[in-house]
């Protein structure tokens, strides 16, 4: 009987992509997915450690699996960023975990499960998998680089993912064509600092704008949109803006993290740009690409952030009018410089600022979305509505969620006229062209 595995994934899109790749290897080795954790012979937790909340969720699941192991045979493997950060401490605190596998060793899990004694090569070297595709999906990821060299003072990623490594361009192109053969409609290029991509071969250097040009020039039958996540503002060059503006396949919705509207706080974060430079970047992009929309990241409660500096962040958001913002408060991570900074903000103040920020951003979201009513646009049908079997949900090039009545199959494109806003979802009607 073939062994069954249970895989849980926490955190970022890169983790999701790497879990997809791991599943392909597991299935190739003869393992099959379990319908529940209780019937699995192997449980794998691909972990995140960016914020304390992620750690807490994972510790809770580890407790569950520890209890499960007392009732039945189970091989428990913890991998990913939390495993990389804690390593021996995790083994000591959770002795029922059989293997703790670092970020760079995920693909060796198959070796552990297929070798007679669970042995594997412990020398860590990050390897990009051939494919990160999950069977049946119409939206997929292509990791193009791993690691980060920026060392933002609050961020654990450079310590758990290591230095930047760029994937060979031919491997990226090969995966693009493979996804196209699977009738994937949109792909997202992934990296911790995706626009720092830098690959050299035979004396030729390919940077991120060059990579985008290469991918857009490839002939594909099904792929309509190419997205990327997440770029760093300091590496957002004029050449990159020109490529986004000129290439039809590059989606005109960009996720560019702000983090703070205070130049002093940005310096303390080691973000390497000022408030004014960030605003100028957004203004330049909008001038070159009038249809562009933005998502951003915002942190409040960074050590020593004053009430005035927090209000600066709100003012910048008001100015930028980004419809999407991923908002959170400072979460200290052991091993980062921000933990040691003076002026740590109390939890009550951080929670209050975050709550105010969410309400503030919601008003921006609704204003921007309502301004879109009447627009005609293409949407990629993504799922059936939970509330009405005749209603479908789709995503536009600008990452807008739209509900409409249609019998169009999931994964197809339809043309929709926006008619209203209900909650956070735009309402639309199909337009036959």
Beta strands 165-166 and 145-146, pairing class: antiparallel
Residue 424 sits in the same domain as residue 393 = yes
Beta strands 413-422 and 391-396, pairing class: unpaired
Residue 311 sits in the same domain as residue 231 = no
Gap between the terminal Cα atoms of the chain: 53
Our count of domains for the chain comes to 4
Q: Residue 108's pLDDT band (boundaries 50, 70, 90)?
A: confident
Q: Which domain holds residue 78?
A: 4-114
Q: Which residue has the tokens 């529940």?
A: 36
For range 333-352, the mean pLDDT: 95
Q: Is residue 405 part of a domain?
A: yes
Residue 100 sits in the same domain as residue 178 = no
Q: What is the pLDDT of residue 118?
A: 56
Question: How confident is the model over 16-48, as pLDDT tens digits?
Answer: 999 999 999 999 999 999 999 999 999 999 999
Residue 206 sits in the same domain as residue 144 = yes
Residue 288 sits in the same domain as residue 351 = yes
- We report the CATH number of the domain holding residue 20 as 3.40.50.12160
Q: Is residue 124 part of a domain?
A: no
Residue 240 sits in the same domain as residue 289 = no
Residue 262 sits in the same domain as residue 202 = no
Question: How confident is the model over 380-418, as pLDDT tens digits?
Answer: 999 998 877 789 999 999 999 999 999 999 999 999 999
Question: How confident is the model over 123-158, as pLDDT tens digits?
Answer: 667 788 888 999 999 999 999 999 999 999 999 999
Q: What is the pLDDT of residue 432?
A: 80
Residue 261 sits in the same domain as residue 232 = no
Residue 227 sits in the same domain as residue 316 = no
How many Å apart are CA 286 and CA 11, to the nearest integer? 30
- We report the CATH number of the domain holding residue 172 as 3.30.750.210
Question: How confident is the model over 254-278, as pLDDT tens digits?
Answer: 999 999 999 999 999 999 999 999 9
Residue 363 sits in the same domain as residue 402 = no
* Torsion sign, CA atoms 72, 77, 81, 84: positive
Distance set, CA 69 to CA 60, 64, 100, 186, 299 (Å): 15, 9, 16, 40, 39
Q: Is residue 127 part of a domain?
A: no
Q: Is residue 128 part of a domain?
A: no
Residue 224 sits in the same domain as residue 257 = no
Residue 257 sits in the same domain as residue 365 = yes
- Its pTM stands at 0.91
Residue 28 in tokens: 């190739």
Q: What is the pLDDT of residue 433?
A: 63
């Amino acid at each position: 009987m073939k062994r069954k595995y249970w895989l849980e994934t926490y955190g970022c899109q890169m983790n999701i992509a790497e879990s997809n790749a791991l599943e392909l290897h597991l299935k190739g080795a003869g393992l099959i997915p379990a319908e529940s954790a209780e019937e699995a012979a192997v449980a794998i937790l691909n972990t995140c450690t960016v914020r304390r909340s992620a750690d807490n969720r994972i510790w809770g699941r580890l407790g569950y699996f520890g209890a499960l192991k007392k009732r039945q045979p189970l091989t428990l493997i913890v991998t990913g960023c939390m495993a990389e950060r804690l390593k021996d401490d995790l083994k000591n605190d959770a002795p029922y975990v059989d293997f703790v596998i670092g970020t760079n060793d995920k693909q060796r899990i198959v070796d552990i499960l297929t070798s007679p004694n669970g042995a594997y090569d412990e020398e860590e070297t990050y390897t990009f998998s051939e494919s990160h595709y999950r069977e049946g999906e119409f939206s997929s990821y292509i990791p193009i680089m791993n690691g980060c060299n920026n060392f933002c003072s609050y961020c654990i990623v450079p310590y758990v993912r290591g230095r930047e490594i760029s994937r060979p361009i031919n491997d990226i192109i090969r995966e693009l064509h493979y996804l196209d053969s699977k009738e994937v409609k949109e792909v997202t290029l992934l990296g911790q600092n995706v626009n720092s991509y830098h690959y050299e071969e035979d004396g030729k250097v390919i940077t991120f704008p060059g990579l985008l040009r290469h991918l857009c020039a490839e002939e594909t039958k099904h792929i309509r949109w190419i997205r990327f996540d997440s770029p760093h503002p300091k590496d957002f060059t004029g050449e990159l803006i020109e490529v986004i503006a000129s290439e039809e396949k590059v989606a005109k919705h960009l996720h560019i993290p702000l983090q703070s509207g205070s130049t002093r706080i940005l310096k303390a974060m080691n973000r390497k740009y000022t408030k004014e430079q960030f605003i100028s970047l957004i203004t330049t992009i909008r001038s070159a690409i009038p249809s562009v929309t933005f998502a951003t990241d915002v942190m409040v409660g960074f050590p020593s952030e004053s009430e005035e500096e927090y209000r600066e962040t709100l003012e910048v958001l008001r100015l930028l009018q980004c419809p999407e913002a991923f908002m959170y408060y400072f979460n200290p991570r052991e091993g980062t410089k921000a933990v040691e900074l003076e002026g740590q903000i109390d939890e009550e103040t951080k929670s209050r600022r975050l709550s105010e920020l969410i309400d503030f951003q919601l008003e921006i979201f609704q204003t921007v979305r309502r301004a879109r009513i009447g627009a005609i646009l293409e949407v990629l049908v993504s799922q059936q509505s939970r509330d009405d079997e005749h209603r479908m949900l789709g995503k536009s090039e600008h990452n807008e969620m739209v509900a409409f009545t249609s019998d169009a199959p999931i994964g197809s494109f339809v043309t929709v006229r926006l008619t209203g806003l209900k909650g956070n979802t735009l309402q639309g009607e199909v337009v036959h062209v």
